[in-house]
Amino acid sequence: MIELIPAIDIIGGKCVRLTKGDYSTKKEYGDPVSMAREFEQLGFKRLHVVDLDGAKSKHVVNDATLRAITQATKLTVDFGGGVKTEDDLKKAYEAGATLVTAGSIAITNPELYLEWLQKYGADHLILGADVRNGKVSINGWLEDSDVELTDFLTRYMKAGTRNVLCTEISRDGMLQGTAVDLYKQVMKAHPNCHLIASGGVSCIQDIEALEEAGIPAVVFGKAIYEGRIDLKELSKKMLL
């Protein structure tokens, strides 16, 4: 059964969604804590929280909102956005995150990422692999690296990484379906990877397609906020 992970993206303490990571497309959807409580009441166990202010400013910004979410719910929260230093990492854990996503740092400072992997363990760290045109993007998708996704994943999976959050940026927020073929390729190359697919979910059928493809987990957000997915129906069709 695929793990279902609703997403809350935060700017200025508010729940928002972007399209393809473009900050100029910001659309607000209210209070993150209220949204998290609603997800929990519907039966979800896990939550994906992204500090978009942090991603842009290159340091964690919305840790107070993260703390409010973790104190108000019993959800297992994974957190990302702006985690560039160990202080950022500690700030996220201290605010209640169980897992923290580190993506840009794995490109800009590989030694530090590997140090975190050893110190905090593979169960508490997620490798962020945000991809555009086959290459990894960093700093809130504002910059593209010259690192190929395949090389990036191979290096860190060999080092002991287990959790990978992979977003196909061109699909993010577009509500036009997920990059199933890309995720299949990742799973074929790394069958032991706990892959979290992200970007493009538009309906329950997209989630079912990922499950049929053997993808372990999926993050989805805009389809919820735009009313494309009925969470009650989803909870009936797929065990949360």
Domains and CATH numbers, the chain: 3-237 (3.20.20.70)
Exposure b/e, 182-203, CB count within 10 A at least 16 = b = bbeebbeebeebbbbbbbbbbb
The active-site residue, picked from 9, 51, 88, 206, is: 9
pLDDT tens for 94-152 read: 999 999 999 889 999 999 999 999 999 999 999 999 898 888 987 766 677 889 999 99
The active-site residue, picked from 51, 63, 78, 130, is: 130
Q: Is 3 helix (H, G, I), strand (E, B) or coil?
A: strand
The question of whether 9 is a catalytic residue gets the answer yes
The question of whether 144 is a catalytic residue gets the answer no
pLDDT tens for 55-76 read: 889 999 999 999 999 999 999 9
